[in-house]
Amino acid sequence: MSNFDFDLFVIGAGSGGVRASRVAASHGARVAVAEEYRVGGTCVIRGCVPKKLLVYGAHFAEDLKDARHFGWDVPDCKFDWDRLRDNVLAEVTRLEGLYGQTLENHKVTLFKTRATLIGPQKVRLADGQEISAERILIATGGWPFVPEFPGSEHAITSNEVFHLDKLPKRVVIAGGGYIANEFAGIFNEFGSKVTIVNRGDTILRGYDEQIRDRLLQISMTKGIEFRFNAPFESIEKKEDGSLTVHLGNCDPIDADIVLVAAGRVPNTKGLGLEDAGVELDKDGAIQVDETNQSSVPSIYAVGDVTNRIQLTPVAIREGQAFADSVFGGKPTVVDYANVPSAVFSHPPIGAVGMTEAEARNKLGTVRVYTSDFRAMKNVLAGRNERALYKMIVNEATDQVVGLHMIGPDAPEILQAAAVAVKAGLTKADFDATVALHPSMAEELVLLK
């Protein structure tokens, strides 16, 4: 028998921690998990799941208008924020229960409290209880970053946005990344006046330039305003509860809420990592090797807390690889090449592989194919919004090294296409595939 209380103790019951826990338990390990908030982590509780449900709700604003062009006598409709908010939160609670049930079914012990490290193989719970484990996995995820400036305490983050008492009439969003653009689209469709404020001069850094420029163009057409090169100076709260945002290089903006979406940082503060000898990088992320092992042999980490690729499916892959490698006798290393991603903006973006700029810098000579078109549905609805598909091909090998799309259902289409890019298929392979007509996806095999 082991001298430890558990074979594995996991701190954090998010996507990566839950996957690692149940897989390790299925391999016969004695596993415990500590979660100080709610089982499910950022994605399920206050991230991609509730946000995607809000995106679905926002899409009805345009769908109801478009329906009239398709013969439906749709009256003017009123949006009820309270009803959507409560339905979304109820779904989150349902999913939280399922995650807890998964742990219970795999005989994983769940401690609903905070845990901190007090040594390489020991943790302390908030009630003072000390527990030993042969191995410890840190899966505490990330946390919204809020820069410090006068009045920053009046801003909210993506953690609080799902719980708003009422729909704000005026929203200022700080940041230019995927979270900022997604919530800009959501609130704009709900009827709020939205302004994105960015201290830099571009949105969606890391995405293909043509795709992000198209989103900017469409967003402005929809009524979303942008302020670039405008750093926050202060937020002033007035007697009526409204806010005035003071910016550099820009006039002040009045708002009902200010949502800070300036990125996320690894959630490592106060965990006792330094005292246990775990090395962190300059951003506070746990430094791990390809096996997810930290500088302390008994301590591992997966997910956003390692700040590699901050995506839920990546955290799940890392949790699976850790459990299979350490407890299942199946050494597994996660391949981070060609990881697909999406921005659930209005319209959404899907991307996999290299951007045009990255491909030219790395490969030298590339071929670029684009299709700039109006979806059939938009044509009949009288909507001028255009989709853009872009394929990047290595000139030397004919291999497709990047796909970038903006338009209706782009992420749904991109997932299948990402398989082809991951498999290293060529432009000729795409050309040899018969088109599925009429569909938007067929543009991918008709690019000339």
Within the chain, all domains assigned CATH 3.50.50.60 are found at 6-144+265-327, 152-262
Q: Where does 347-445 sit in CATH, by number?
A: 3.30.390.30
Beta strands in 203-262 (DSSP E): 225-227, 232-237, 243-247, 250-255, 257-260
Q: What is the DSSP letter of 156?
A: B
Sheet holding 225-227, edge to edge: 225-227, 193-197, 170-174, 257-260
Question: And the tokens for 126?
Answer: 């908030």
Q: Where does 152-262 sit in CATH, by number?
A: 3.50.50.60
Answer yes or no: 437 catalytic.
yes
- Binding-site residues for FAD, in ranges, read 52, 304
Superfamily of domain 6-144+265-327: FAD/NAD(P)-binding domain (3.50.50.60)
The pLDDT tens digits along the chain (448 residues) read: 579 999 999 999 999 999 999 999 999 999 999 999 999 999 999 999 999 999 999 999 999 999 999 999 999 999 999 999 999 999 999 999 999 999 999 999 999 999 999 999 999 999 999 999 999 999 999 999 999 999 999 999 999 999 999 999 999 999 999 999 999 999 999 999 999 999 999 999 999 999 999 999 999 999 999 999 999 999 999 999 999 999 999 999 999 999 999 999 999 999 999 989 999 999 999 999 999 999 999 999 999 999 999 999 999 999 999 999 999 999 999 999 999 999 999 999 999 999 999 999 999 999 999 999 999 999 999 999 999 999 999 999 999 999 999 999 999 999 999 999 999 999 999 999 999 999 999 999 999 9
- Binding-site residues, in ranges, read 52, 175-182, 263, 304
Exactly one of 69, 154, 246, 437 is catalytic; which is it?
437
> What pLDDT shows up at residue 1?
58
Measured CA to CA, the distance from residue 443 to residue 349 in angstroms comes to 15
| Cβ–Cβ < 8 Å for 134, 121 | yes
- Binding-site residues for NAD(+), in ranges, read 175-182, 263
Measured CA to CA, the distance from residue 241 to residue 171 in angstroms comes to 14
Measured CA to CA, the distance from residue 176 to residue 212 in angstroms comes to 11
> What pLDDT shows up at residue 295?
97
